[in-house]
């Protein structure tokens, strides 16, 4: 399975990490998690393009085999791991 992923960091996370308080960062992070929009997909005979964008501006694109299953859950899982990583980076500074 070929995976191509493009990630734009959330503007809200940047502001919370550099300007606001620790509590603001957590609130923003969990609002982003719960405001996930539906994963949109476009399919051809050779590949399936899966696209996820949330209101904060984060975009994720996955190119998969057309028969691949569970891609929306996978994108949400990747997003949650990314947010956990951002939180750990913030706590280490």
pTM of the model: 0.53
Rounded Cα gap, residues 82 and 20, in angstroms: 20
Rounded Cα gap, residues 67 and 80, in angstroms: 24
Sorting pLDDT into bands at 50, 70 and 90, what band is 33?
Answer: low
Sorting pLDDT into bands at 50, 70 and 90, what band is 9?
Answer: very low
CB atoms within 10 A of CB 41: 15
Tell me the pLDDT tens digit for each residue of 48-86: 999 888 767 778 888 999 999 998 888 888 888 888 888
């Amino acid at each position: 399975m070929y995976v191509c992923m493009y990630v734009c960091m959330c503007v809200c996370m940047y502001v919370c990490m550099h300007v606001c308080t620790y509590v603001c960062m957590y609130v923003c992070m969990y609002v982003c998690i719960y405001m996930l929009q539906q994963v949109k997909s476009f399919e051809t005979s050779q590949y399936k393009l899966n696209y996820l964008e949330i209101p904060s501006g984060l975009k994720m694109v996955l190119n998969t085999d057309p028969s691949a299953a569970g891609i929306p859950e996978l994108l949400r899982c990747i997003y949650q791991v990314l947010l956990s990583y951002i939180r750990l980076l913030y706590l280490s500074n």
